[in-house]
Chain A
Amino acid sequence: MKNNKAKVRNFHQAKWDEEIIFELDTPGECGMLTPQIEPEIEQLVGDGISTLPQNMKRVRPPELPEVSQMRVLKHFLRLSQQCLGADFNIDIGQGTCTVKYNPKINEVLAGNENASQIHPLQDQSTVQGALEIMYKLESFLKEISGMDRFSLQPSSGSAAIFTMASIIQAYHKSRGQAEQRDEIITTIFSHPSDAAAAAVKGYKVITLYQNEDGLPDAEALKKVVSNRTAGLLITNPEDTGIFNPRIVEFTRIVHQAGGLCGYDQANANGILGITRAKEADFDLCFFNLHKTFGAPHGCGGPGSGSLGVNKKLMEFLPVPVVGFDSEKYFLDYNLPNTIGKTRSFYGAFPVILKAYAWIMSLGADGLTEAANVAVLNNNYLLEKIKKIKGAAAPYAKGRHRIEQVRYSWEPLFADTGITTEEVTFRLADFGFHLWSSHHPFVVPQPFTIEPTESYSKDELDEYLAGLEHVVREAYEDPEKLKGAPYNSVVHKIDHSTLDDPKKWAITWRSYLKKHKCTD
């Protein structure tokens, strides 16, 4: 069934060949004037600087560029045009990132001065609105997960994972078992932070590889669970999009050994209202507000990772949490065994506000509908992509997926020598992203697509048409792909300098020192 509306666009990305801001430096220009100090003040206190210790007076002003206001604006607007945001493209190629629509009304609400102009240390009677929103969001997350208490403090998914590892450690410490239980188990298809954050806490990390079905094997788990197990950190469905139906067996095995189970719910978008952390017997779970709950990704933050726990772990949560005493909301620092703070203050409030608004707009039925349609969209794509020559969907043959699929270009590679990276760069010529996989590449030549519920069938068909077009090119004219992208912002980037300490330049001044002669 060919969709004739699905065209391959004659796309060209904005390309300004814009200088680095320092190259716009014109001595004497200025972008902002600071307010003048009142003359009476200057009369009273003088220039102020004379009171500074001599060695703390900056000798040379910082060598920031001097650029007039409109030029600064133009510069950054041009850079923004050279960036492919979800608002502009069919952003289904960033698998695991859940790049869905970020409603603009939520931006308006976050811009409200009663959201942006409040200080975290204000008397709590003056921020009842902020506390109410946090409290209510927590209540929604409790419903979605079945957990008993949430902290909205962690700044992101990875920060939430670290907080889970901290709580697990604190729990075992309170039982005198922290030294004995020094191992955390995770899987190769979980987010790299599940392993990395545990290692920060000094844990020995054991990673389970997948079996032929693409799932971690309970037999493998049994091999490594022992009285040294502190906990299990696992995603479900994993980045393959395959749901592990034996998850309860996993949590049981770990619990029997005395460990705790943490649920990385970065992949929650397909299961909202369908299955919960509670029924799978998890002790902890977290959600990414900037993925599942419609808050924007912001080029890589700010985000927010809301961490939920069951009753026995409540006392360890970072402080404060938000309480309600039937009359007013308050910041509750009264958690006897809190791990302390993982972030200043209470959490990424603007992100929290946007997530709250997103949930309120959809309601309970809407959340489930979003999950259902995300799964529908994903399986629609799976059905179509499976039929593209050169593409494969490893594991779970003949079965469906939840909200994303880890595909492979291995057949394409075997036929043409074209790699997943080369396909990605050519897709940029049509205004598309395509992401491969976290490392390591267990699936060869991987690509991961997660449509979410935000794109129409026509848009999905357009993306498919793009994929088919590039694949056809790979078979007919592979050299074309090797020089891609052609219609993007820049041409083939030379990455070789970036690993050489003598050549890498992380700042402009470093670049000048290493690569250019200064006049």
Chain B
Amino acid sequence: MKKLGLIINPIAGMGGRVGLKGTDGADILAKAESLGAKPRANQRTIEALNELVILKDEVELITCPNQMGQNALVHCGFKPKVIGSVSTGSTSSIDTTHAAKKMLDMGTDLILFAGGDGTARDIYSAVKNSQVVLGVPAGVKIHSAVYACNPPMAGKLASLFLQGKTRRTVDCEVMDIDEKNYRRGILSAKLYGYLKIPFEKKYVQNLKTGSPATEAYYQQAIATDIVENMNDDFYYIIGPGTTTRAIMQKLDLGNSLLGIDIVHKKKLIAQDLNELQLLNKINGKKCKLIITPIGGQGYILGRGNQQLSPDVLKVIGKDHVIIVATAQKINSLQNRPLLVDTGDRETDLILSDYFRIVTGYHESRVYKVTRLVE
């Protein structure tokens, strides 16, 4: 019997309606509640669970007490096994992390979680890359790419996965607000890592059938193209992302997963550099930058790779920016442009243009990059 875990962050999504950015931390929550915000996560989870009701007798459900999952499941007619406890009063991310760890240990096939970026981050810290998960969107800001586009879709995709009708998984970025920057008044997102989610193109892109060729296949095709065209005179600055990771794998080089690496003459020169280290390394050298959209919003700069500051970009030069992305990633943007938010308006404007995106072996697509005024 398949095991499905459910974890709801009951306070996620409360901030947006009352004009707050997220509900991390007890003080923000108190503020939201005082402003009259009502919990939404439960309702949205129920929308997802409705798609799973047909599997009621074929799947074992494991969840957390009360508003963290039990209430929603019982409402839909499920009989879940309840684990863990809830801290009195407001729930905290510790409860989420504990529950996810327990579910991983119990050999859960899929953990469904409802929340926002904060919740995704909590799940990630518990299970890292060893558990298949899927997010039901209920938070206000979602940069993480681990969420389905709406609750019913999350339910449908979970259902397919549990029935074995889609067997593929794909790594997606876990992003959350960069607190350090936020306190300095800069809104930016940090890349924390990658979670495995079920992959069924139909629910990401509405295609007819599941793809026998995986995302990894296309990423390898891109990597082959990039490596084929590498010029020994240049220093290649490789940004984070699963597609850029494939390039490093093609070259048989370890990569820092979340940070900026430099490759020269197909060898790893430096790893996980911050902005200052980067500037030191590339000053006066011919370089090319390889970046890929990070997170579900389509940002190629400014979310998850802030080390690539306006100063760094000035040294590299616009003509030496190479953007890589699978066609599926491009199409998931649903015609929205790729976005840049470097923190410097002029740099953003220079980068607002049509770019040739490498989407495979000997294939590219011309797509718009623009700065978004938030």
A residues apposed to B, CB below 8 Å: 188, 195, 199, 203-211, 217, 219-221, 223-224, 417, 419-421, 439-442, 444-445, 495-496, 498-499
Complex: chain A residue closest to B47, CB-CB:
A417
Report chain B residues within 8 Å CB of A417: 152
22 CB-based A-B contacts, threshold 8 Å: A195-B363, A199-B363, A204-B362, A205-B362, A205-B363, A205-B364, A206-B365, A207-B363, A209-B365, A211-B368, A217-B354, A220-B366, A224-B356, A419-B206, A421-B206, A441-B205, A441-B207, A442-B335, A444-B334, A445-B206, A496-B210, A499-B209
* Nearest chain A CB to B6 CB, angstrom units: 21
With A209-B368, A417-B152, A498-B209 already in contact, the answer to whether A441 and B363 are too (CB < 8 A) is no
B367: which of A204, A209, A441, A496 is its contact (CB, 8 Å)?
Answer: A209
Contact A223–B209 (Cβ < 8 Å): no
A440: which of B205, B362, B366 is its contact (CB, 8 Å)?
Answer: B205
* Nearest chain A CB to B94 CB, angstrom units: 35
Question: How distant is the Cα of A420 from the Cα of B152 in the complex, in angstroms?
Answer: 16
Query: Does B165 belong to the interface (CB within 8 Å)?
Result: yes
* Nearest chain A CB to B217 CB, angstrom units: 14
B residues apposed to A, CB below 8 Å: 152, 165, 205-212, 327-328, 330-331, 334-335, 353-356, 359, 362-368
Contact B362–A496 (Cβ < 8 Å): no
The 8 closest A-B pairs by CB, nearest first: A204-B362, A220-B354, A496-B165, A220-B366, A440-B331, A207-B365, A208-B366, A223-B354
Question: How distant is the Cα of A263 from the Cα of B218 in the complex, in angstroms?
Answer: 29
Question: How distant is the Cα of A414 from the Cα of B353 in the complex, in angstroms?
Answer: 31
Complex: chain A residue closest to B335, CB-CB:
A442
Question: How distant is the Cα of A220 from the Cα of B366 in the complex, in angstroms?
Answer: 6
Complex: chain A residue closest to B152, CB-CB:
A417
* Nearest chain B CB to A318 CB, angstrom units: 25
Question: How distant is the Cα of A421 from the Cα of B156 in the complex, in angstroms?
Answer: 15
Complex: chain A residue closest to B365, CB-CB:
A207
* Nearest chain B CB to A22 CB, angstrom units: 26
Complex: chain B residue closest to A443, CB-CB:
B335
* Nearest chain B CB to A495 CB, angstrom units: 6
With A199-B363, A223-B354 already in contact, the answer to whether A441 and B210 are too (CB < 8 A) is no
Question: How distant is the Cα of A203 from the Cα of B293 in the complex, in angstroms?
Answer: 26
Report chain B residues within 8 Å CB of A440: 205, 207, 327-328, 331
Complex: chain A residue closest to B212, CB-CB:
A499
Report chain A residues within 8 Å CB of B366: 206-209, 220-221, 223-224
Contact A207–B165 (Cβ < 8 Å): no
Question: How distant is the Cα of A207 from the Cα of B205 in the complex, in angstroms?
Answer: 18
Contact B205–A499 (Cβ < 8 Å): no
With A209-B367, A219-B354, A442-B335 already in contact, the answer to whether A199 and B362 are too (CB < 8 A) is yes
Question: How distant is the Cα of A420 from the Cα of B208 in the complex, in angstroms?
Answer: 11
* Nearest chain A CB to B139 CB, angstrom units: 20
Report chain A residues within 8 Å CB of B359: 207
Complex: chain A residue closest to B163, CB-CB:
A496
Besides A208-B365, A499-B212, 15 other CB < 8 A contacts?
A: A199-B362, A204-B363, A206-B363, A207-B363, A209-B335, A209-B367, A220-B368, A223-B366, A224-B366, A439-B207, A441-B207, A496-B210, A498-B209, A499-B209, A499-B210
Complex: chain A residue closest to B332, CB-CB:
A440
Question: How distant is the Cα of A417 from the Cα of B152 in the complex, in angstroms?
Answer: 8
Contact A206–B364 (Cβ < 8 Å): yes
Report chain A residues within 8 Å CB of B335: 209-210, 442
A223: which of B206, B207, B356 is its contact (CB, 8 Å)?
Answer: B356
With A223-B356, A496-B165 already in contact, the answer to whether A420 and B206 are too (CB < 8 A) is yes
Complex: chain A residue closest to B355, CB-CB:
A223
A442: which of B331, B353, B362 is its contact (CB, 8 Å)?
Answer: B331
* Nearest chain B CB to A424 CB, angstrom units: 11
With A205-B362, A207-B363, A224-B366 already in contact, the answer to whether A495 and B207 are too (CB < 8 A) is no
Question: How distant is the Cα of A442 from the Cα of B207 in the complex, in angstroms?
Answer: 11
* Nearest chain B CB to A230 CB, angstrom units: 13
Contact A495–B209 (Cβ < 8 Å): yes
Contact B207–A206 (Cβ < 8 Å): no
* Nearest chain A CB to B324 CB, angstrom units: 14
Contact B331–A441 (Cβ < 8 Å): yes
* Nearest chain A CB to B245 CB, angstrom units: 24
Question: How distant is the Cα of A442 from the Cα of B327 in the complex, in angstroms?
Answer: 11
* Nearest chain B CB to A388 CB, angstrom units: 20
Question: How distant is the Cα of A203 from the Cα of B361 in the complex, in angstroms?
Answer: 11
Question: How distant is the Cα of A217 from the Cα of B337 in the complex, in angstroms?
Answer: 14
Report chain B residues within 8 Å CB of A499: 209-212
Report chain B residues within 8 Å CB of A220: 354, 366, 368
Report chain B residues within 8 Å CB of A441: 205-207, 331
Complex: chain B residue closest to A414, CB-CB:
B150
Question: How distant is the Cα of A199 from the Cα of B209 in the complex, in angstroms?
Answer: 24
* Nearest chain A CB to B361 CB, angstrom units: 9
Contact B356–A206 (Cβ < 8 Å): yes
Question: How distant is the Cα of A205 from the Cα of B361 in the complex, in angstroms?
Answer: 9
Question: How distant is the Cα of A84 from the Cα of B199 in the complex, in angstroms?
Answer: 34
Report chain A residues within 8 Å CB of B363: 195, 199, 204-207
* Nearest chain B CB to A410 CB, angstrom units: 9
